[in-house]
Structure 1
Amino acid sequence: MQISFFKITAATAALCFSTLVMAQQQTRSVSGTVKDKKNGELLIGVTVKVSDDPSIGVVANEYGFYSLSLPEGDHTIIISYPGYRDFEQQIKVDQNIKLDLFLNQEEQKSNTIDEVVVSGVKKDKNLSSAQMGTETLNIKNIEKLPVLFGEKDVMKTIQLLPGIKSNGEGSSGFSVRGGATDQNLILLDEAPVYNASHLLGFFSTFNSDALKDASIIKGNSPAQYGGRLSSVMDVKMKDGNNQNYNINGGIGLISSRLSVEGPLQKEKSSFIVSGRRTYADLFLKSSKDYKDNKLYFYDLNLKANYQINENNRIYLSGYFGRDVLGLGDTFSTDWGNTTATLRWNSIINSKLFSNTSLIYSNYDYKIGLKNNESEFKLNSKIQDWNLKQDFTWFAGNKHSVRFGLQSIYHTLTPSSASGTIVNSYSRNPRYSWENALYINDDFKATEKLTINYGLRLSLFSVLGGDTFNTYENGELSESQYLEKGKFGKTYTNLEPRITANYRINEVSSVKGGYSRNTQNLHLLSNSSSGNPTDQWIGSSYSVKPEIADQISVGYSRNFKNNNYELNAEVYYKSMQNQIDFKNGAQIGFSTAEDVESELLFGKGRAYGLELIAKKKSGKLTGWISYTLSKTERKINGINDNQWYNARMDKTHDLSIVATYQLNSKWTLSGLFLYSTGNSVTFPVGKYELNGQTVFQYNNRNADRMPAYHRMDLSATYEPESNKRFRGSWTFGIYNLYGRENAYTITFEDNPNNPGTTRAMQTSLFRWVPNITYNFKF
């Protein structure tokens, strides 16, 4: 299959570049950046077309740069972007032209509302783009949706889309097309975020006030992305207003936030600082019993940029977040992320754009227990230094080529324990070096056919500084010490990707694609929702890279001038080197000194159908999404070596989202969710040993949690405001009809009849009201 794919790719590439050479004759370049006129923010994905030849058009890249190749003569350029007024400009092309474009935002009308959350794209992009399984979120409209504690959240919003499943009530972790939580690459200004949650998943790390754009790609990602099997969530922070100073924020029942942005030097440089903190700990201090307890998180987003000259700009952005939970002197835990990105954008010439990034990322957690003279400490950390060089080459109106390289130096410190409660053990950090080369071409082959194809070469090298064991079926077979600085085992993988879109007519299209992804960092967890204490490990002598091959086919149709949209996709994903714990694995505080001894490896498969229908304009907007899917694993040593349900397997997943613009001041929103319960393992029997009841378990994940469903409602009130100050109130209720959804189910002897067993269900929330005041001036 791979050989034939490479032959097709090579033939297609030869055709593309021969066409390219011919197309470049007797043309001139028109290039520049596209910005918001009011605040100077670079706009992502703006469509730039030519009125006299609609077949000529490009989309600005994620840094706002575009380039057109036009024949000499007079032309009219048309620029369009959702939420902005269309703009036309006449130009005379007799040489290469640098033309920066500025768009004005549309004033919201009293009887309409902007497109709903999944709307940061042109109305018919679902019909014209070759990219499959991609959704872009409109940050401005996320605040209209009802969410837990009234905190708008991109992580919660993406879980309302098909193929993306929540890992549990309150959790910000999610599963995409049968993948585990760690198989999602989450980027904040290009920096990987290894734990994207606060307060055990009830909040995400992303403060929406600081964000400009967020998109998710379900498996069929272009070649510039890599390192994860299932999805890419690419989040970009605002650059900051380079025209005027602005302050905005919100005050809620459990958290507040504040953002400040403005120019450092008008039209040349800007900054944004955005902070957020919960204050549940302040309420605890009012009680004598809980005054010494701690329960809060904080995060801080920072970004600044400076235009060196018309072709070069530098950016510096950072994120700092921390969770703190403590019960007096007896228990404490804290965890958090730190990221920093230094980026240099350079327009090398009218067709070639360069982005150079130096990226730092760190995630760590610490746990402490103390009881009289006994104490226990547990900690772990993962740290990355990342150098990335990316080029965008607008090779012609038919080709947009991305190519570059990425080099990441990983330092992973597995969970290390010390203290008197358990046997202490310390673990050496493990070092690895991950590299990748990639090239990707977005090729408009004909007026109806668009192809996106590319190739990624990934290399992962194990570096010295520790002892590496090799296991066969969980048993130690070989052990060797690798000196620090020495290269150990290196894994090399080729990752071809191709998707194609054929426009059947003005209102419908079909798509198809194949992609291969590999993953060398793995999260070990015994929880479907994820915990701060889950630990990351890298590929080693025993742990091989995970590999996924995905095939998908889709159909899209729009109705009534693109105001209604229907998308359907089916997919099949085959996975190699999947990881699970062996039966009876030591995964608590008494974790084995080498956690790799507790692991087994095998294969997986996932397949399903995804449907989404949207209404994108008018007073009533929203969507209905549905996923029918199956996710399984087959690992020797588990379930008699037969296929079994993966923890994230859910047969049915339904979301209904609606927003209604009642009038110029009131907006009503609601959502309904239903999903099959996660796969779990319940006991099938019990016996007594030394006076203690021991439960007996059979096949792994052969049972299910009860089905999950709930309804949320919210209302947003926006009174009339002046030009300098704008305020709004949001009122909402989470879980309107008080459904007690199961968070956990445990089993114990029935005290009224010790010979029988009773199941005990824990539920987190019934009704959760919220009130939030938002302001901007």
Structure 2
Amino acid sequence: MYKRIVITSVFVLLNSMLLLAQQKFTISGNIKDKKNGETMIGVTVYPLELSGIGTSCNEYGFYSLTLPKGQYHIICSFIGYKPDTLLVNLEANIKSNRALTDNLFTLQEVVVSAEKKDDNIKRAEIGVAKIDIKEVAKLPVIFGEKDVLKTIQLLPGVKSGGEGSSGFFVRGGSADQNLILLDEAPVYNAAHMLGFFSTFNSDALKDVSIIKGNSPAQYGGRLSSVLDVKMKEGNNQKYAVTGGLGLISSRLSVEGSIVKDKGSFMVSGRRTYADAFLKLTEEFKDNQLYFYDFNAKANYKINDKHRVFLSGYLGRDKLGLGAFGIDWGNQTATLRWNHLISPKVFSNTSLIYSNYSYKGSITSGETTLSIKSEIKDYTLKEEFQYFPDSKNAIRFGFQSIYHSFVPKRFKGNTYNEPHKNTRYGWDNAFFVNNTMEVTPTLTLDYGLRFSTYSILGGDTYKIYNQGVMTDSVVLASGKFGKTYANLEPRFQFSYLLNENSSVKGGYARNTQHLHLLSNSASGNATDQWLGNSYNTKPEISDQVSVGYFRNLKDNLYQISVETYYKSLKNQVDYKNGADISSAPDVESELLYGKGRAYGIEFLVKKTQGKFTGWVGYTLSKTERKIIGINDGNWYNAQQDRTHDLSVVAMYALTDRWTLSALFVYSTGGAATFPSGKYDMGGNTVFYYKERNGYRMPANHRLDFGATYTRPHKSKVFESSWNFGLYNVYGRQNAYAITFANSKSDPTKTVATQTALFRWVPSVTYNFKF
């Protein structure tokens, strides 16, 4: 036995030495779309001669593949494109930029996913979904405005914030626990028109993905999800114009080359014109009701090793109804520098600016009252990607954010609120992550993030216990207060059971240093953001998830089942009877405790052919436990919904007509309704017993859409008409329920349900040339 062990050990050692002695070289470069010059994300690159070895290009189109010395056929593969093959004699490091061509036959079919056909099985990622921008345009949505936020709400584990709302909840998390990034810049309010539109103009977007809690270490700052949105870079081959005319909004995008094959730009704008219709009426001609947004991006390739990007977003809403007016909006800007340090090392340096602000006013006679608030970020992010060999892809770097919080401030000619100082925070993180192919059947993705948050001076911080002030800390400007530090480990794996199925699992700890105070489940324009303080500590989540994934009939059908359990710490809620609008210090109205969320998600998807679509179903539970609420017992979180179902179908009827339909059903959200009432001095006072102990009525509806592509003699010009009907059978879903005394019998209580929409038809004309 001992002799056998020694011989085996010597054999393994000699084999390892031979492998180490074998010369290896790297082929690297960028991959782009040949038609428009846009860099491509996620293209698979592999040698035909070596099974189980390969890589994929990163979010900037860069790939790096290290192989033993030899001759190889290097394949670049991406669904919807013709495979590209290059014969190389790898005797030294090679730089090879590639350009892929559309597969015209594939484009005649409807394709749900832009990924490699079996990536859903082989990737170590769990709880990740890619959104195909082309498919977003085909789905029926309210007012006919294609919307990525409405589309992700159709995925299992992602729930709508309400009827027509862009707000969403992921695996039991609240709306503020979603990190929404636009070219790396955080977007703090991703909604227009009180949530009926999102801030994302789909014409300006290149790639959208959502990660449901198990994010790699380079992401952080939120507990529930990451929605990573990237804008187009622009066509560097020729000028192109895209646009659309709808019933209440229009959009226009222009892109083109700055220098062909070296630089390009893209600008895109959108505006609603509901205010133009208001001016036609005498009663509403002085009212305002519109939003606009503007996206812009430019890039320039200095040489083969250096490339710079500049992108920005500006969006604003204006709502003026008589004496009441409010406007709000986001501004973001990102300056990035890509540097190819070596064939194996790629770096990205980003300077990021983000600002969200709102202001409002109310006028009554000679009395005026105004309100405003703001959150502003300045960020430096440095990230390196290292590809040591064909089986490892390592990311590491840091991120530093300077936060500025302008609290909600009221000001009027008859009201003088005590002055509230701007508060500041410094948010830092260091991260490292590796994606490793251990064996042809086992892939690991593991990492560690170390995050800190420091309270900065310039204000007095009061300390409360159950809403009662016990102490205070005065921090002079420029001084450091309390610093919170947390380690955030992450781990995921994928194990191939066979060529058609796999098991995946993962654990992730996430920490959140920013907190949103809102009076509604789906959020509104006047919500207020806070940083950590001496009362409000970092929110922490620990999520464990496991899933089974299977493809059928040559990847034509994809089936997945995922289950998760999430433990939450330092959750924030309001004490009973809280008034966050007029409280001198909003933290005096807050209570803190823990939470839990668990559930199971099912997804069946057909990805190719004339008929495509998916069915998604989620069974889940979300609860909180906070001393001072519900007698310290567990209670339903506001976003808790037991059942959530979505059915999406698309059918290419002819070369010109594409039909689409979707059906959604969800249990009503948890709500607090009065349990009784009593009379006090002739006034009725309602009595509330249990927090979120009741439910809104179930929500369901059917939407229908049709797209007609017009034939044109000119190959340069393309156009289409999109028709839609939102809520086909006229379901009056409850938006709000109010309670009042019956006019005929004051001893009885009448509940009144408010519904926003019944039938909403839409027509949109789209063009491109």
- Give your verdict on TM over 0.5: yes
Matched, 1:168 2:159: no
CA contact (8 A) 1:108 1:114 kept: no
Matched, 1:279 2:270: no
Instruction: Output the CA distance in 1 between the equivalents of 2:16 and 2:643.
Output: 46
Specify which of 663, 671, 674 is matched with residue 683 of structure 1: 674
Letter in 2 for 1:385: Y
Matched, 1:708 2:705: no
Matched, 1:292 2:283: no
Residue 54 (structure 1) shift: 2.4
Instruction: Output the CA distance in 2 between the equivalents of 1:401 and 1:683.
Output: 55
Aligned to 2:689: 698
CA contact (8 A) 1:23 1:396 kept: no
Residue 693 (structure 1) shift: 1.4
SS of alignment partner, residue 742 of structure 1: coil
Matched, 1:197 2:186: no
Closer/same/farther in 2, CA of residues 24 and 764 from structure 1, 3 Å limit? farther
Residue 422 (structure 1) shift: 4.9
Closer/same/farther in 2, CA of residues 71 and 339 from structure 1, 3 Å limit? same
**CA offset digits 1:45-104 (Å, max 9, x no partner):** 100011001222001111111001112221101111121111111111111000001001
Aligned to 2:408: 415
Identity over the aligned pairs, expressed in percent? Answer: 60
Gaps of 5+ in 1: 1-17
Residue 114 (structure 1) shift: 3.2
Residue 24 (structure 1) shift: 8.7
Aligned to 1:36: 33
Aligned to 2:347: 354
Residue 108 (structure 1) shift: 4.7
Instruction: Output the CA distance in 1 between the equivalents of 2:382 and 2:244.
Output: 38
SS of alignment partner, residue 520 of structure 2: coil
SS of alignment partner, residue 220 of structure 1: coil
Matched, 1:437 2:451: no
Residue 526 (structure 1) shift: 2.0
Aligned to 2:766: 774
Closer/same/farther in 2, CA of residues 190 and 109 from structure 1, 3 Å limit? closer
**CA offset digits 1:601-628 (Å, max 9, x no partner):** 0000000000100011111100000000
Instruction: Output the CA distance in 1 between the equivalents of 2:19 and 2:105.
Output: 45
SS of alignment partner, residue 545 of structure 2: strand
Aligned to 1:641: 632
Aligned to 1:537: 530
Specify which of 67, 72, 76 is matched with residue 69 of structure 2: 72
Instruction: Output the CA distance in 1 between the equivalents of 2:486 and 2:166.
Output: 31
Closer/same/farther in 2, CA of residues 682 and 106 from structure 1, 3 Å limit? same
Instruction: Output the CA distance in 2 between the equivalents of 1:172 and 1:754.
Output: 39
**CA offset digits 1:678-700 (Å, max 9, x no partner):** 00000011112232211111100
Specify which of 163, 187, 205 is matched with residue 211 of structure 1: 205
Aligned to 2:59: 62
Matches within 5 A, 1:518-667: 518-588=511-581, 591-667=582-658
SS of alignment partner, residue 746 of structure 2: strand
Aligned to 2:730: 738
Instruction: Output the CA distance in 2 between the equivalents of 1:348 and 1:449.
Output: 30
**CA offset digits 1:410-465 (Å, max 9, x no partner):** 00111011114655233111000000000000000000000000000001000000
Instruction: Output the CA distance in 2 between the equivalents of 1:432 and 1:109.
Output: 50
Matches within 5 A, 1:280-429: 280-328=274-322, 330-420=323-413, 422-429=415-422
Instruction: Output the CA distance in 2 between the equivalents of 1:531 and 1:364.
Output: 12
Matched, 1:185 2:185: no
Residue 146 (structure 1) shift: 0.4
Letter in 2 for 1:755: T
Instruction: Output the CA distance in 1 between the equivalents of 2:498 and 2:507.
Output: 24
Instruction: Output the CA distance in 2 between the equivalents of 1:347 and 1:620.
Output: 43
CA contact (8 A) 1:20 1:395 kept: no
**CA offset digits 1:646-697 (Å, max 9, x no partner):** 0000000000000000010000000000000000000011112232211111
**CA offset digits 1:714-761 (Å, max 9, x no partner):** 000002233210000001100000000000000011112111010010
Instruction: Output the CA distance in 2 between the equivalents of 1:178 and 1:29.
Output: 44
Matched positions, count: 754
Instruction: Output the CA distance in 2 between the equivalents of 1:21 and 1:192.
Output: 49
Instruction: Output the CA distance in 1 between the equivalents of 2:709 and 2:400.
Output: 48
Closer/same/farther in 2, CA of residues 21 and 173 from structure 1, 3 Å limit? farther
Instruction: Output the CA distance in 2 between the equivalents of 1:675 and 1:729.
Output: 31
Letter in 1 for 2:757: F
CA contact (8 A) 2:110 2:652 kept: no
Instruction: Output the CA distance in 2 between the equivalents of 1:319 and 1:109.
Output: 33
CA contact (8 A) 2:67 2:389 kept: no
Aligned to 1:113: 109
SS of alignment partner, residue 348 of structure 1: strand
Matched, 1:752 2:747: no
Instruction: Output the CA distance in 1 between the equivalents of 2:521 and 2:208.
Output: 24
Instruction: Output the CA distance in 2 between the equivalents of 1:285 and 1:305.
Output: 41
Instruction: Output the CA distance in 1 between the equivalents of 2:736 and 2:87.
Output: 64
Instruction: Output the CA distance in 2 between the equivalents of 1:19 and 1:611.
Output: 44
CA contact (8 A) 1:239 1:304 kept: yes
CA contact (8 A) 1:743 1:764 kept: yes
Moved more, 411-420 or 620-629: 411-420
Residue 361 (structure 1) shift: 0.0
Specify which of 476, 488, 498 is matched with residue 491 of structure 2: 498
Closer/same/farther in 2, CA of residues 421 and 166 from structure 1, 3 Å limit? farther
SS of alignment partner, residue 754 of structure 1: coil
Specify which of 654, 660, 665 is matched with residue 674 of structure 1: 665
Aligned to 1:269: 263
Aligned to 2:6: none
Residue 109 (structure 1) shift: 5.9
Residue 23 (structure 1) shift: 6.0
Aligned to 2:5: none
Residue 139 (structure 1) shift: 0.6
Instruction: Output the CA distance in 2 between the equivalents of 1:196 and 1:73.
Output: 51
Closer/same/farther in 2, CA of residues 108 and 719 from structure 1, 3 Å limit? farther
Residue 19 (structure 1) shift: 9.0
Matches within 5 A, 1:213-252: 213-252=207-246
Letter in 1 for 2:661: G
Letter in 2 for 1:749: N
SS of alignment partner, residue 407 of structure 1: strand
Moved more, 68-77 or 404-413: 68-77
SS of alignment partner, residue 683 of structure 1: coil
Instruction: Output the CA distance in 1 between the equivalents of 2:423 and 2:341.
Output: 39
Instruction: Output the CA distance in 2 between the equivalents of 1:396 and 1:281.
Output: 59
CA contact (8 A) 2:110 2:610 kept: no
Letter in 2 for 1:575: L
**CA offset digits 1:8-55 (Å, max 9, x no partner):** xxxxxxxxxx99996695100000010001111000010001100122
Letter in 2 for 1:115: V
Letter in 2 for 1:69: T
CA contact (8 A) 1:474 1:598 kept: yes
SS of alignment partner, residue 45 of structure 1: coil
Letter in 2 for 1:113: E
Letter in 1 for 2:236: N
SS of alignment partner, residue 194 of structure 1: coil
Matches within 5 A, 1:148-163: 148-163=142-157
Gaps of 5+ in 2: 1-14
